[in-house]
Amino acid sequence: MNTVIKVKRAPLCFELNMRYTLNFRCKQIVRYSQKLDTGQIQPDISNSSKNTEKFVHSVLCNILKRKPNTNLTPKKIVIDFSSPNIAKPFHAGHLRSTIIGNFIANIHKYYKDYVFKINYLGDWGTQFGLLQYGLKAQNVNMNELQKPIKQLYDIYVNMNKLAETDENVQNEARKYFSDIEQGKISLENWKKIRNVTVHELENVYQRLGITFDAFHWESDYNGIAIRDLMDYLQKHNIISNDETGKKIATINNKKITFLKSDNSTLYLTRDVAALLDRHKKYDFDKMLYIVDNSQADHFSSVFEIVKQFNKKCTEGCEHIKFGRIKGMSTRKGNAVFLNDILDEAKQKMYEKQMQSKNTRQSAMNEETCDILGTTAVVINDLKQRRQRDYEFNWDRALQSEGDSGIKLQYLHCRLRSLEKNCGVSIPEFCSPALLTEDIIVDVVNELSKFENVLQRSFEAYEACILVSYLFRLAKCINKMFKEMKVKNVDQSTAEQRLLVFHAARIVVKTSLEILGVRPLDEM
C-alpha cells in the first residue's frame, strides 16, 4: 500500500467503537489485506484515510492479541528428525535435518497441533558389529568413556582400517552382528553405549535449544524384536524367500532385499517395523521424516511395502526432503561433530563482535556468542529453499550487514532496547490517527502480512518464506527507526509509535522462535 494518506486525529468514540467491533473487523480487514497482498483488489483511495486508520488499528490489535490465525482442529504430528548414527560423524545432513525438523515442529506447535519429536538414532547394522567387536577386542569399559561420541568414533575408524587389511576382522564383525541380532549375545553393553550417547547429544541439542520427546533406536527393531512381524509378512506373501535364502519384497514389480540370508535386518526392515510401531503408539495424523534427498528411494520403499498390508498407516506419511550443504568445515578440518560446528560459530562470532564498534562489551559473554553463532548457522540454513543444495560460507553466515541471522538478532535487541529506554511505556490503546506517516503505514502493512506468510511457510514446510519476509520487515523497521523519533516528541505520539515498534518486535520474536532461534535482548 503506497497510497499517500493524510488524516485528522480520530475522535475518541472511534477508538471505543473499534474495540467493540474489532473481532468482526479484524477478520474482515486481514482478509482485505491478504487480498491487497496478492493483488486481488486495489486499495480504496476515495475513502482511504479512514480505511487506513481501521487497517492500522486492526493489524496492531491482532498482533498484540497474539492469536494465531487458524481454526483447524489440532492434529497429531510425529516428526523424526536429526537422527544421527552413533560412532559415525554427525554430518551436515544431520545438521540440516535438525534445523528443518525443529522449525517444522515449532510451526505445527504454533498452530496448536500435538507434536511428538523423535530422534531415531542409528545404532544397528553390520558396521556396529565392527564397533562391538572393537570394544571387546580393546577391552573398553563403557563407564569410563569421557567423550563417548568421539571415542566410539575413533574405535570405529580404527576397526575399519584394520578390517581393510584383515579379512578375519570383517568376518568376525559380521558374525558378531548376526549373533547379537539373533539374541545370542546380551545387549547390556549396547544399552550403556546408548545411554552415554544420549547424554552427550542432549548437551549439544541444548545449545540449539532443541529437545526431543523420545530417543528411539534402530536396534529396538532388531531381528528378535521383529520376529512376529516377519512371520506375518511371510504368511501374507508380502515377503518371500529367494534362491540364496534372502527375504525379498516386491515393489512395482521390482524385487528388493528385505532381510539378509543370515536373517540380519536392514535399514529398510527396521524402518518398516518402526513405522508400524509408531502408528500403533501414537495413532498419528502425520508422520514426517526429515531426511536428505538421497534417501528418497528408501522412504518410498518403506511406504510402498507398508501400504501393501496397512494402507491406513501410510496415509499421513511424508518424506520431507532437503538438499546438501557443501563446504561446511571447521578449523579442525572437515566438520565431524555438531559440537565442533557450534564451537566454530561461537568462536568466529566472538572474534567478530570484538572487532565491531557496535558491540556492547558488557553484553558480550559466552552465552551471547553461542546464541549468535547458532543463530547465524540456523538462519543461514533456513533462508535456503529446502530442496536446494547450497554452499556454506562462514563469512556470509556471520555477517551483520547482509541477510543474516546476526542482523535479525541485532534488530530484536534494538527494538528491545527502545522499549526499555525510550522514556514512555507501551499504551493500552491504539490511536491510529497518530500513526499516519507513510513509513508507519508501510511497517504496519508489512506486519499485516505476517499470518499469511506464516501460513504459506507452513503449507510448504519452507522456512525460507518466513525468513525472506523477516529480512523485508527488518528493512522497513530500520527505515522507521531512521525516520520516526520516539524521544523528543509529544507523549501520545511517542507512545503510539512505540506501540508499532512493540508489535514489530512481537512479530520478529515470534518468527525467530518458530525458526528455532532464541531472541537476544542485548548484544
Euclidean distance between CA atoms 105 and 114, whole angstroms: 9
Identity of the residue, 118 or 473, whose beta carbon is nearer to ligand ARG in the bound complex: 118
> What's the min distance (Å) between Cβ of 197 and ligand ARG?
13
| Bridge partners, 76 (sequence order) | 114
Residues 6 or more apart whose Cβ sits within 8 Å of residue 130: 156, 159, 160, 163, 169, 170, 173, 177
Q: Which of residues 62-81 bind ligand ARG (CB under 6 A)?
A: 80
Q: How many CB atoms lie within 10 A of CB 8?
A: 9
**Residue of 54, 57, 88, 502 with catalytic role:** 88
Identity of the residue, 115 or 517, whose beta carbon is nearer to ligand ARG in the bound complex: 115
> What's the min distance (Å) between Cβ of 201 and ligand ARG?
13
Identity of the residue, 59 or 121, whose beta carbon is nearer to ligand ARG in the bound complex: 121
Angular region, 112: left φ>0, alpha ψ -120 to 50, beta rest: left
Q: How far is CA 19 from CA 23, 116, 435, in A?
A: 8, 38, 17
Binding part of the chain for ligand ARG, among 83-91, 245-253, 358-366, 484-492 by CB under 6 A, reads: 83-91
Binding part of the chain for ligand ARG, among 82-90, 329-337, 348-356, 367-375 by CB under 6 A, reads: 82-90
> What's the min distance (Å) between Cβ of 168 and ligand ARG?
28
∠ Cα 322 328 330 (to 5°): 150
**Residue of 54, 57, 94, 117 with catalytic role:** 94
Identity of the residue, 288 or 376, whose beta carbon is nearer to ligand ARG in the bound complex: 288
**Residue of 54, 91, 117, 348 with catalytic role:** 91
Identity of the residue, 292 or 381, whose beta carbon is nearer to ligand ARG in the bound complex: 292
85 binds ligand ARG (CB under 6 A): yes
Sign of CA dihedral 300, 306, 308, 313: negative
Helix axis angle, 491-515 relative to 463-483, nearest 10°?
160
| Bridge partners, 120 (sequence order) | 216
Q: Which of residues 286-305 bind ligand ARG (CB under 6 A)?
A: 289, 291
Q: Which of residues 484-503 bind ligand ARG (CB under 6 A)?
A: none
Residue nearest ligand ARG (C-beta atom): 122
Q: Which x/- pattern over 257-286 shows residues binding ligand ARG (rule: CB under 6 A)?
A: --------------x---------------
> What's the min distance (Å) between Cβ of 271 and ligand ARG?
5
Identity of the residue, 103 or 350, whose beta carbon is nearer to ligand ARG in the bound complex: 103
Identity of the residue, 96 or 346, whose beta carbon is nearer to ligand ARG in the bound complex: 96
Residues 6 or more apart whose Cβ sits within 8 Å of residue 387: 293, 321, 322, 323
394 binds ligand ARG (CB under 6 A): no
3-state helix, strand, coil in the chain (%, to 5): 60, 10, 30
Binding residues with ligand ARG: total (CB under 6 A): 9
> What's the min distance (Å) between Cβ of 122 and ligand ARG?
3
123 binds ligand ARG (CB under 6 A): no
* Residue 336 DSSP code: -
Among 52, 83, 380, 511, binds ligand ARG (CB under 6 A): 83
- CB–CB of 123/86 below 8 Å? yes
Q: How many CB atoms lie within 10 A of CB 166?
A: 12
| Bridge partners, 248 (sequence order) | 240, 257
Identity of the residue, 284 or 289, whose beta carbon is nearer to ligand ARG in the bound complex: 289
* Residue 332 DSSP code: T
Identity of the residue, 145 or 268, whose beta carbon is nearer to ligand ARG in the bound complex: 268
Q: What type of residue is 101?
A: G
Identity of the residue, 197 or 448, whose beta carbon is nearer to ligand ARG in the bound complex: 197
- CB–CB of 338/94 below 8 Å? yes
Number of continuous H segments (helices) and E segments (strands) in the chain: 19, 12
124 binds ligand ARG (CB under 6 A): no
Sign of CA dihedral 304, 309, 315, 317: negative
Euclidean distance between CA atoms 37 and 58, whole angstroms: 16
For the question of residue 91 being annotated catalytic, the response is yes
**Residue 331: its H or E element:** none
Burial of 464 (0-12, 13-18, 19+ CB in 10 A): middle
> What's the min distance (Å) between Cβ of 296 and ligand ARG?
12
122 binds ligand ARG (CB under 6 A): yes
> What's the min distance (Å) between Cβ of 84 and ligand ARG?
6
> What's the min distance (Å) between Cβ of 82 and ligand ARG?
9
Euclidean distance between CA atoms 499 and 508, whole angstroms: 14
Q: Which x/- pattern over 192-231 shows residues binding ligand ARG (rule: CB under 6 A)?
A: ----------------------------------------
> What's the min distance (Å) between Cβ of 291 and ligand ARG?
5
DSSP SS3 for 290: strand
The set of cell numbers assigned to 319 is 518424506
For the question of residue 76 being annotated catalytic, the response is no
SS3 of 148-207 = HHHHHHHHHHHHHHHHHHCHHHHHHHHHHHHHHHCCCCCCHHHHHHHHHHHHHHHHHHHH
Among 32, 55, 120, 212, binds ligand ARG (CB under 6 A): 120
> What's the min distance (Å) between Cβ of 19 and ligand ARG?
50
Active-site residue list = 88, 91, 94
Q: Which residues bind ligand ARG (CB under 6 A)?
A: 80, 83-85, 120, 122, 271, 289, 291
